[in-house]
Amino acid sequence: MLILPSRRQVLGGLGAGALAVGSTGTYAFAIEPRFRLAVTSYAPMLPDWTPGLTLRIAVIADVHVCEPWMPLDRVAEIVAATNALASDLILLLGDYPGGWRVSWKRVALTDFARVVEGFRAPLGVHAILGNHDWWEDRDALGARRGPVEARRVLEARGIPVMENDAVRLVKDGRPFWVAGLADQQPFKPLRDMRSLADIPGTLAKITDDAPAILMAHEPEIFPTIPDRFALTLSGHTHGGQVRVFGHSPFVAGYHDPRYIYGHIVEGRRHLVISGGLGVSNVGVRFGVPPEIVLIELGSPPTA
Longest dimension (CA), the chain: 79
Q: What pTM was estimated for this model as a whole?
A: 0.89
| Confidence (pLDDT) at 4 | 33
Pairwise CA distance, residues 130 & 134, whole Å:
7
Radius of gyration of the CA atoms of the chain, in A: 21
Which of 70, 42, 35 shows the shortest CA–CA distance to 58? 42
Instruction: Summarize pLDDT for 15-41 with one digit per residue, the tens.
Output: 333 333 456 767 876 787 777 899 999
Phi then psi for residue 117, to 5 deg, are -60, -20
Average pLDDT estimate for 218-239:
97
Instruction: Summarize pLDDT for 279-300 with one digit per residue, the tens.
Output: 988 888 888 999 999 999 997 6
Name the CATH superfamily, with its identifier, for domain 10-297.
Metallo-dependent phosphatases (3.60.21.10)
255: pLDDT confidence band, cut at 50, 70 and 90? confident
How many other C-beta atoms can be found within 10 angstroms of the C-beta atom of residue 188?
16
Query: Which range among 91-95, 132-136, 147-151 has the greatest average pLDDT?
Result: 91-95
| Confidence (pLDDT) at 19 | 36
The domain spans of the chain are 10-297
